[in-house]
A and B are shown apart, each in its own frame.
Chain A
Amino acid sequence: MLKNVTFNQKWIAYLLVAPQLLITLVFFIWPAAQALWQSVRREDPFGFSSRFVGLDNFQALFRDPNYLHSIQVTAVFSVSVTVLALALALLLAAFADRVIKGALGYNTLIILPYAVAPAVAGVLWLFMFHPTVGIIAYVLGGMGVSWNHYLYGNQAMTLVVIAAVWKQISYNFLFFLAGMQAIPKSLIEAAAIDAAGPGRRFWTIVFPLLSPTAFFLLVVNIIYAFFDTFAIIHAVTSGGPARATNIMVYKVYADGFVGLDFGGSAAQSVILMMVVITLTVLQFRYVERKVKYQ
């Protein structure tokens, strides 16, 4: 017998969501509104003179070849990070799901990097790839690859992608593994009896049933690549060399907090906000159609 408890008074519902609403208001809506306000103004750092400049800040951005380049860099970076982080995590989860002995040990080891702060993850990889003192750079040098990510843009990009992916795999792995373990064994066993091999079982049964998880992770990973990788970029390349890793969120920081150009920086963060909102809406509109919730 199920007992249904309902609240007739509406106020209690509002009261219960109020703390969350308040937090959203203070930490999201208010700063976002301020960014909008600042993006149409130009002022000196100390705030002595501030005036309305309409869409000047936005126009200046789209006339700036460096900004357009930053958009390209962001696209390359976030697609690489998202695809690699999802694919590798899925692969690891598929293997870990089959492990019976010592599963806890494997899982813990794979999840461990998630506990590492992004900046620390960045510095860790930086040390291994450091052109002068890095062990991997040394090995690469022995193989005839001259590694210097301070000089070569694609090497710098590779390095920050590796660091960002390494850090995100744990999170994805956790969700994929949980998703796989929720799939009824009977389905897989039935397929095995019908002579479907491991590969076929994965693609026809496991993968479709994982699609809600994968979709959720896709959204989360894109947002991760757009925003949370800031600390990695900051610690490893500072956006260089020659702007090769200058992703949009890093440029927002550099122009606003280093350059003290609040208007231009706010305009960039408004654009960034729109891009992420658009991407998320598009994903829900088109990708989600292919998702099968049970």
Chain B
Amino acid sequence: MPTKHLAAATAAAFLMSTSLAPTAANAQTQVQWWHALTGQLGEALQEIVDDFNAMQDDYRVEAIYKGNYTETMNAAIAAFRAGEQPHIVQVFEVGTATMMAARGAIYPVQDLMIDAGYDFSVDDFVAAVASYYTTTDGELLSMPFNSSTPVLWYNKDHFEAAGLDPETPPRTWDEVGEFSRQIVDSGAAACGLSFGWQSWVLVENMSAWHDEPIGTAENGFAGLETEFVFHENAVVPRLIEQIGNWSQEGLFRYGGRRGDSLPLFTTGECSIWLNSSAYYGGIKEQADFAFGVGMLPYYDDIEAAPQNSIIGGATLWVLQGKPAEEYAAVAAFFDYLASAEVQAHWHQSTGYVPITTAAYELTLESGFYDEEPGTNISVEQLNLNEPTSNSKGLRFGNFVQIRDVINDELEAVWNGTKTAKQALEDAAAAGNTLLRRFEDANAS
């Protein structure tokens, strides 16, 4: 019997999908959007698409989940090579250089909007977001969508138990050390500090936060000939050595790559956790203690710090090779997507930062930041100062692999098999080899 029900249900679903498709295709222009968001984020995305489809009759956007960021990007590239590409693909920030280098494959979003007759200006976007995706000539290449930035999460209950002020998160790295020591010594928690996405937080963001370069040629913005310098800038070697010492001392506990270390924070093992602002929903759901959000720590003897933090997340790239009327549909959808109401709602429901100034102001007026304290930290961090050539982002080819190289070397520091200096030099050397390979493959 159950199998029969299942068969009936499948048949019904099949009938529905086949009967819907032709009517939708009748007069409407179809747009395909491949994305990489699941769960709560995927639902919020689908909601935007459904609203757009419901509010007008000319265009129909179809959002298709294609796996994680890497899988989605690879699927789009493979589809492009086979001539079956979608109109829009969501690509994570480290894939930017790869997409950019393929000038023949992409339709810069700024050109798209202007060609379609929209009044489009990069200045409407939050500078720290847009600067990551613009050329040195100021042309915006892809549509900012979901962006986040690392912040400092801390456990207020632990702070209180250790005799610290629960309303004052550590401001500097030295304070992170002092507070952690006090927390561990007082027995408030087993460890003081942990973090995720370590290359993004400790190497990329900390360089930007102190206005120090990650690589030459404006962090790769100015050309493919860029080389890494993070191993000899004023902040990264110092910081990695310090955290390496904390690892041996037991103040810092390593919990794995990406967001794998989240349980260390939510189960109350570690008191301070550095990672993306987009963990807000997850932490709120899982933590049974009072938590707070602070800005990223810095070294107060470095004059430029704090500069501004840089983003992570993804943007929407438009691929070439489709008829003009379909691009008009894409432009109409982007116009809707970037509207202040849609962006403000997206920001408030997901924890991603608002990509336009208008969306930020709308959220501010609505009183959301007063109701959910800490959610404004990410925006404030990004807007702290006008981004410099060191802090507007980075653009390195093969950067997915390079991040793994950096992960590998940092892990060697945390487990004590390499010194910070040695590990960073090795990371830079291996990273430079990958940069040269990218330069070579894209020099045509």
Contact = CB atoms under 8 A, between A and B. Distances in A.
B404 interface: yes
Given A43-B441, A151-B414, A242-B411, 13 more contacts: A42-B437, A44-B102, A44-B444, A133-B263, A148-B254, A151-B411, A238-B257, A241-B408, A242-B408, A258-B400, A258-B404, A260-B74, A261-B401
User: Of residues B411, B433, B440, which shows the largest number of chain A Cβ atoms within 10 Å of its Cβ?
Assistant: B411
Interface in A37-66: 42-49, 60, 64, 66
A152 interface: yes
A158 to B, nearest CB: 15
Interface in B233-255: 253-255
Interface string A145-182: 00010111100000000000000000000000000000
A241 B415 contact: yes
A184 to B, nearest CB: 46
B244 to A, nearest CB: 12
Contacts of B408: 66, 240-243
A64 B442 CA distance: 21
A264 interface: yes
Nearest to B443: A49
Interface in B395-421: 398, 400-401, 404-405, 407-409, 411-412, 414-415, 417
Contacts of B121: none
Contacts of A66: 405, 408, 430
Interface string B357-378: 0000000000000000000000
Contact of B417 (A133, A148, A150, A242): A242
A46 B255 contact: no
Q: How large is the interface on A (under 10, 10 to 19, 20 to 34, 35 or more residues)?
A: 35 or more
B174 interface: no
B444 A151 contact: no
Interface residues of B, number: 42
B415 A254 contact: no
Contacts of B425: none
Contacts of A130: 263
13 contacts: A43-B441, A44-B102, A46-B77, A46-B105, A47-B81, A48-B104, A241-B408, A241-B411, A242-B409, A254-B404, A258-B401, A259-B401, A260-B74
Contacts of A133: 263, 267
Contacts of A240: 256-257, 407-408, 411
Nearest to B415: A151
A156 to B, nearest CB: 10
B45 interface: no
Contact of A132 (B80, B101, B255): B255
B388 interface: no
A255 B210 CA distance: 32
Interface string A230-260: 0000000011111100000000001101111
A131 interface: yes
B444 A49 contact: yes
Interface string A271-282: 000000000000
A126 to B, nearest CB: 10
Contacts of B101: 44
A133 B263 CA distance: 8
A291 B317 CA distance: 60
Contacts of A254: 401, 404
Interface in B62-104: 70, 74, 77, 80-81, 98, 101-102, 104
B260 interface: yes
A161 to B, nearest CB: 19
Contact of A242 (B70, B415, B440): B415
A45 to B, nearest CB: 5
A42 B261 CA distance: 37
Contacts of A243: 408
Contact of A46 (B104, B398, B400): B104
A49 B440 CA distance: 10
B412 A242 contact: yes
Given A46-B104, A64-B433, A241-B411, A132 B264 contact: yes
B269 interface: yes
Nearest to A260: B98
A66 B411 CA distance: 15
A153 B412 CA distance: 9
A128 B81 CA distance: 43
Given A150-B256, A150-B260, A257 B70 contact: yes
Contacts of B415: 151-153, 241-242
A238 B253 CA distance: 19
B80 to A, nearest CB: 6
B349 to A, nearest CB: 28
Contacts of A60: 433, 437
Contacts of A153: 415
Contact of A45 (B98, B261, B405): B98
Contacts of B98: 45, 260
Nearest to A259: B401
